[in-house]
Amino acid sequence: MAVQATAPRSGRVRAALRWTGTLLGAVVVYFTLVSPDRLTQYSAASFVRIPIEGLLLVALFLAARGRMRAVVLGAAGVLLGALVIVRLFNLGFYTALSRPFDPVLDWVLFRPAFELVESSVGRAAAVGAAVVLGLVVLSVPVVMTFALRRLGRLALRHPAATTRATAALAVAWALLALLNVQFVHGLPVASDGATGALGDQVALVRRDINDGQKFGSQSAVDAFRDVPGSQLLTALRGKDVLFTFVESYGRSAVQDPQYAPQVSATLDEGTRRLAAAGFSARSGFLTSPTTGGGSWLAHDTLLSGLWVDNQQRSDTLLAGDRFNVNAAFRRAGWHIAGLMPANDRDWPEGRYFQYHDLYDSRNMGYRGPKFSYVPVPDQFTLASFQRLERTPGHQPVFGEIALVSSHAPWTPIPQLVGWDEVGDGTVYNSMSTAGDPPDVAWRTSEKIRTAYRNSIVYSLSSLISYVQRYGDDNLVVVFLGDHQPAPIIVGDQASRHVPITIVAHDPKLLDRVAGWGWTDGLRPDPQAPVWPMSAFRDRFLTAFA
């Protein structure tokens, strides 16, 4: 009797497990077909949708016979597995860079992403995340195929009911599509998002294939390539000129109510302090080719006068001979220095920018601590430029400088010290552990946004203080943001605009840009002109020649 009682129970358990597996398979497939590509679009209502791809798959499966059904499920498993991977990558890229994943060009970004995670939360966490990502990529097609087979067996056991349900949902999908019914986030209830996501990836691949020739043709058109040095930058003769990129300094920093009060106060106070020292400034906006990251694309674009918005264009540019701002200064007789404090390895592509001296975290003389991702504080970077390049009796120098203290994860942040106290950087030892570590700050949006704001204030304060301390009649500073920060800081709808400012002691220099319509002072007016970043090279070389 005990054996007879156990058998029905085990049968019920197996049946329950089968139904649980089938239900989980349905959830996995449905979630794959309708899930959005952006975290900001996730809500319960986002999943009240009818995926046309699922209906077509059911119809194709029922119409197939014999072994063709296995072929249909196998092909669908591979495609849905690819869709899961695309959606995962898109989630990451939209969150960090406000754009979709490019399957041709974006593999190069995984190394800096790993390094950012490693510097923020430790190597073990970074390796763990990489391992989990690899396991997901390998296992998803297998899991998806298994789920489809479970659902296929269910459909074959109930073919009439499956056919009626599919037909009813198809009619509903058509009506909802015709009426363009949407619940939230602009997502249509009649969904074709899975086809769209895979189609977008194909379109990106086609664009990348065709873009190389187009970019090469654009690069060949250059009005300044053959201008002799005697005719270049004549208005700046004898001046030390700095082009300084402030990491993640975007338009939102000076206009978003979450950041603008403190950042604008820093800029306005800086305008007053520099005016007292005899300096004037004009400010406007540029449109960056990137957002959230990819700072090198902004450097490439501003200095070359070409729109460099992806890695393929950047690689092509750095391998070529397109005339750039650095080359113009070198041809006209300046000494060219690059300070890239985030670099920790050789950068042979730097030859394109024609540096006489190139400094990075290894040869700037810094002996202090890292600040999460940031290897060198901005004040030390500027002090190094002064110590290494603006020595007494020096040749006029052009410096391209990256200030990286405002790079994610934006915490901890150093404090300004007296310029005579900077030394070898050990003065910062006690600051590297002050405040919340990244894994704490990133737990709430309020904390991380406060950290971002404080980092921008620090970077701008360092630059203003440098000009006030070391500025003279022969100093000209152009400083700008490289791009807006990630959408977690500024939202999905933020522009790609970044502030740009020219600071000079000689008022005649700023008279040359009077026709640009820029705002007086370090803070651009909201109505100030906005140019593509690629337009700046020609305007600058024209204004000062």
Same domain, 310 and 370: yes
Residue 5: predicted pLDDT: 53
Q: Give the residue from 207, 240, 257 where a domain finishes.
A: 207
What would the 3-class secondary structure string for 378-395 be?
A: HHHHHHHHHHHHCCCCCC
Q: Which residue range(s) make up the domain with 536?
A: 229-543
In a domain, 220, yes or no: no
Residue 539: predicted pLDDT: 97
Same domain, 81 and 130: yes
Number of domains in the chain: 2
Residue 8: predicted pLDDT: 64
Same domain, 411 and 454: yes
- DSSP class per residue in 519-538: EESSS--TTS-EEEGGGHHH
**Residue 444 CA to chain centroid, in angstroms?**
20
First vs last C-alpha separation in the chain: 103
Quick: pLDDT tens for 217-249: 888 899 999 999 999 999 999 999 999 999 999
Which pair of tokens denotes residue 472? 């003279």
| Res. 187 pLDDT band, cuts 50 70 90 | confident
The strand pairing partners of 280, in sequence order, are: 504
Residue count (the chain):
545
Statement: residue 106 has pLDDT above 90: no
Q: What percent of the chain has pLDDT over 90?
A: 64
Question: Which of 150-154, 367-371, 447-451 bottoms out in mean pLDDT, i.e. has the lowest?
Answer: 150-154
pTM of the model: 0.88
**Residue 542 CA to chain centroid, in angstroms?**
31
Q: Do 244 and 501 contact (CB within 8 A), yes or no? A: no
* Higher-confidence position of 487 and 336: 336
In a domain, 212, yes or no: no
> Among positive and negative, which fits the CA dihedral 145, 147, 148, 152?
positive
Same domain, 193 and 311: no
Same domain, 193 and 317: no
Section 464-485 average pLDDT: 97
| Res. 46 pLDDT band, cuts 50 70 90 | confident
In a domain, 319, yes or no: yes
Q: Do 136 and 127 contact (CB within 8 A), yes or no? A: no
Residue 123: predicted pLDDT: 82
- CATH code of 269's domain: 3.40.720.10
Residue 251: predicted pLDDT: 98
Same domain, 375 and 268: yes
Return the SS3 of 398: strand
In a domain, 244, yes or no: yes
Residue 184: predicted pLDDT: 67
Q: Give the residue from 172, 207, 242 where a domain finishes.
A: 207
In a domain, 17, yes or no: yes
| Res. 270 pLDDT band, cuts 50 70 90 | very high
Residue 127: predicted pLDDT: 87
Same domain, 333 and 399: yes
- DSSP class of residue 360 equals E
Cα–Cα distance list, 229 to 49, 149, 305, 333, 490 (Å): 64, 71, 18, 7, 43
Residue 6: predicted pLDDT: 56
Quick: pLDDT tens for 252-262: 999 999 999 99
| Average pLDDT of every residue of the chain | 92
Same domain, 343 and 465: yes
Identify the helix (H) or strand (E) that includes residue 445: helix 445-470
> Among positive and negative, which fits the CA dihedral 17, 19, 22, 24?
negative
Q: Give the residue from 174, 207, 240 where a domain finishes.
A: 207
- DSSP class per residue in 149-184: HHHHHHHHHSHHHHHHHHHHHHHHHHHHHHHT-B-S
Statement: residue 1 has pLDDT above 70: no
At 286, give phi and psi (nearest 5°): -125, 155
What's the one-letter identity of residue 443? R
Quick: pLDDT tens for 497-545: 999 999 999 999 999 999 999 999 999 999 999 999 999 999 999 999 9
Q: How large is the C-alpha radius of gyration of the chain?
A: 28
CA–CA dist 472, 277 (Å, integer): 9
Same domain, 197 and 282: no
Same domain, 314 and 424: yes
In a domain, 103, yes or no: yes
In a domain, 77, yes or no: yes
| Res. 9 pLDDT band, cuts 50 70 90 | low
In a domain, 84, yes or no: yes
Quick: pLDDT tens for 316-325: 999 999 999 9
| Res. 129 pLDDT band, cuts 50 70 90 | confident
Quick: pLDDT tens for 380-424: 999 999 999 999 999 999 999 999 999 999 999 999 999 999 999
Same domain, 156 and 237: no
Same domain, 15 and 160: yes
